[in-house]
Amino acid sequence: MIRTRFAPSPTGFLHVGSLRTALYSYLFAKKNNGQFILRIEDTDRNRIVENAVENLLKTLKWAEIEYDEGPVKNGKFGPYIQSERFDIYKKYADELLKNGHAYKCFCTAERLDEMRKTQETAHLAPMYDKKCLNLTPTEIEKNIADGIPFVIRQNIDHSRTIKIEDLIRGNVYFDCKTVDDQVLVKSDGFPTYHLANVVDDHLMEISHVIRGEEWLPSTPKHILLYEAFGWTAPLFAHIPLLLNADKTKLSKRQGDVSVEDYINKGYLKEAVINFIAFLGWNPGKGVTKEIYSMEELIQEFSLEHVHKAGAVFNLEKLDWYNWQWRKKMHIEKVEKTPELRGKLLLEIAEKYINPNFKKDEKFLERAIITIEEKILQNPTETEKLISFYFSEQKFDAALLTNEKMKVTLEIAKKVLPEAKLALENLSDFSLESIKSSLMELIKKLELSNGQVLWPIRTAITGEQFSPGAFEIIWAFGKEESIARLTNAINKL
Ligand code: GLU
């Protein structure tokens, strides 16, 4: 049975990266008819934030990531909140002490500090020097009797090399020379993440640990713990980091990182999930479909298509998904209530269409699809939104350039004839095929999306703002789009 888990530490809000970890674990479990478990890792009592668990549950519910076992939904491996499992960890820490895989350490903060400083000056990795490993049973007893506080440390065999067969990264080797004797139980008797995490993943029968790449360096310690207990380790899949546009690790300083921020801004959950799913995953080579519902993601998800490289958190792409999803939902709604669209069509036809400008009904319908949601939201904007579809083509060379997107007139001159050719060669004029042919053109020209799509769209519409290039080409249809491109090319 495939069992995955999401094991957040409740620090107050859900990070978008954590939502992705939860999503991938959920999709993988559901795709394989497995179970998805939620476990709250709250052993670090200093980091506890009030209501954090409630917020977390609320956010997962919003995202429709439903867990099979977890807090408020007890299963046979509960409790699922680590602070309610301290007795369990104590028992396993004692076992490690008994079999020599852990030891009590009485070193003072001052000694540890000094040791670290010396190591830093010598450019060595900061590591505990195993001093307390050599204490005799009598010394240990005396220290305890004297009330000297102690931690329990993992006794790492520094001569080992650990091999991790990561499902995403392939084989990763760790030389234990630089792996520190991790504290497993703190002086207040609380376990650390490492001990509790390994014990719980084992007891909860987790088959696949899917988590962020930042946990990879901890994995050799975990593998050694599984060995020390005589347990089989689960399989590991470490998913790539999320990055800012400048390729640094995604941080609060460069934008919102909490899912709640996006909920508050009104993003649709469908769009957020769709966007997050594609941050570091794709449905396979050659698949151009980008809009996936949760059901479809479950069908398509596989760890083989998770990327190794970090994924850039691109807000423009999120906006694009949000728009696509709003449109999709809108169209579905209108399809269920056709009188709504009928009414709108009639109104527009009567009010805004220049009688000299004959257009067929199919064109009118396509044009409406690209803007009707905006019209329904804001009817007073109708004329502004729709007029370019029904008026003579305007031309303004300056509009074809865009400083921010680095579109110069030279680029526009190069792009438009190529776009015209690409559209002429297109026999299937569906939205999807227009999109893939222009995406191919972008690749071929080695330009950015904006450098190709901006001049095409502004040449055809004569407007600074309008629906996107693919949509307006689809709405105008092949003949008119090509005619408009030709006009623009002749005037350039
Ligand atoms: N509690 C860890 C976190 O906050 C879980 C890491 C893991 O999945 O092992 O991310």
Q: What is the pLDDT of residues 83-131, one digit of tens each?
A: 999 999 999 999 999 999 999 999 999 999 999 999 999 999 889 999 9
- Nearest alpha-carbon partner for 128 in 151, 149, 106, 112: 112
Task: Please report the pLDDT score of residue 360 as a whole number.
Answer: 67
Is 434:470 a contact under the CB 8 Å cutoff? yes
Q: Report d(CA 133, CA 136) in Å as an integer.
A: 9
pLDDT by residue (tens digit) across 228-246? Answer: 999 999 999 999 999 988 8
Partners of 27 in beta bridges: none
Q: Report d(CA 410, CA 389) in Å as an integer.
A: 27
- For a mutational test of ligand 1's pocket, the pick from 14, 211, 219, i.e. the residue with the most ligand atoms closer than 8 A to its C-beta, is 211
Average pLDDT for residues 341-354, to the nearest whole number?
68
The DSSP code sequence of 76-91 is TT---BGGG-HHHHHH
Map out the domains of the chain as residue ranges: 85-239, 264-329, 337-390, 397-491
For the Cβ of 7 lying below 6 angstroms from any atom of ligand 1, the answer is yes
Record the tokens describing residue 268, joined without a space.
């649709």
Dist. CA 218 → ligand 1 center (Å): 10
Does an H or E element contain 28, and which? helix 16-31
Please report the atom of ligand 1 found closest to the CA of residue 201. 9
pLDDT by residue (tens digit) across 31-52? Answer: 999 999 999 999 987 777 788 8
Catalytic residue (one of 142, 252, 308, 343): 252
Task: Please report the pLDDT score of residue 352 as a whole number.
Answer: 67
For the Cβ of 215 lying below 6 angstroms from any atom of ligand 1, the answer is yes
Dist. CA 16 → ligand 1 center (Å): 14
Average pLDDT for the chain: 92
Three-state SS at 211: strand
Record the tokens describing residue 345, joined without a space.
């069509």
- Nearest alpha-carbon partner for 471 in 356, 331, 367, 361: 367
**What angle, rounded to 10 degrees, do the helices at 361-377 and 315-336 form?**
110
Please report the atom of ligand 1 found closest to the CA of residue 9. 4
Pick the CATH number of 85-239 from 3.40.190.10, 3.40.50.620, 3.40.120.10, 1.10.3720.10: 3.40.50.620
For the Cβ of 21 lying below 6 angstroms from any atom of ligand 1, the answer is no
Dist. CA 40 → ligand 1 center (Å): 9
Average pLDDT for residues 452-480, to the nearest whole number?
95
Three-state SS at 392: coil
Q: Report d(CA 363, CA 479) in Å as an integer.
A: 12
Dist. CA 18 → ligand 1 center (Å): 9
Can you say how many angstroms the Cα of residue 354 is from the centroid of all Cα atoms in its chain? Answer: 47
For the Cβ of 211 lying below 6 angstroms from any atom of ligand 1, the answer is yes
For the Cβ of 41 lying below 6 angstroms from any atom of ligand 1, the answer is yes
| Class for the domain spanning 264-329 | mainly alpha
**What angle, rounded to 10 degrees, do the helices at 431-445 and 409-424 form?**
130
**353 pLDDT above the threshold of 70:** no
Task: Give yes or no on whether 264-329 and 397-491 have one common fold.
Answer: no
Q: Which residues of 195-218 are buried (b: 16+ CB within 10 A; e: fewer)?
A: bbbbbbbbebebbbbbbbbebbeb
Record the tokens describing residue 70, joined without a space.
């977890």
**179 pLDDT above the threshold of 70:** yes
**What are phi and psi for residue 69, nearest 5 degrees?**
-140, 150
**305 pLDDT above the threshold of 90:** yes
For the Cβ of 42 lying below 6 angstroms from any atom of ligand 1, the answer is no
Q: Which of 10-14, 146-150, 305-309, 374-378 bottoms out in mean pLDDT, i.e. has the lowest?
A: 374-378
Instruction: Count CB-CB contacts under 10 A for residue 169.
Output: 17
Q: Is 458 exposed, middle or buried (0-12, 13-18, 19+ CB in 10 A)?
A: buried
Asked if the bond preceding 79 is cis, omega within 30° of 0, the reply is yes
Is 69:80 a contact under the CB 8 Å cutoff? yes
Record the tokens describing residue 72, joined without a space.
């408020």
pLDDT by residue (tens digit) across 196-218? Answer: 999 999 999 999 999 999 999 99
Greatest Cα pair distance, the chain, in angstroms, is 103
Please report the atom of ligand 1 found closest to the CA of residue 5. 8
The DSSP code sequence of 80-135 is -BGGG-HHHHHHHHHHHHHTTSEEEE---HHHHHHHHHHHHHTT-------GGGG-
- Nearest alpha-carbon partner for 204 in 228, 234, 165, 237: 234
Active-site residue flag, 252: yes
Dist. CA 434 → ligand 1 center (Å): 43
Q: Helix and strand tally (H, E) in the chain?
A: 18, 11
pLDDT by residue (tens digit) across 407-429? Answer: 999 999 999 999 999 999 999 99
Q: Report d(CA 212, CA 177) in Å as an integer.
A: 24
The pTM of the full predicted model, rounded to 2 decimals, is 0.76
Pick the CATH number of 397-491 from 1.10.1240.10, 2.60.40.1180, 3.90.1150.10, 1.10.10.350: 1.10.10.350
Q: Assign 358 a pLDDT band (cuts: 50, 70, 90).
A: low
Please report the atom of ligand 1 found closest to the CA of residue 11. 4
Top-confidence residue, 186 or 266: 186
Q: Report the amino acid identity of residue 87.
A: D
Dist. CA 223 → ligand 1 center (Å): 15
DSSP-assigned letter for residue 306: B
The DSSP code sequence of 257-282 is -BHHHHHHTT--HHHHHHHHHTSSB-
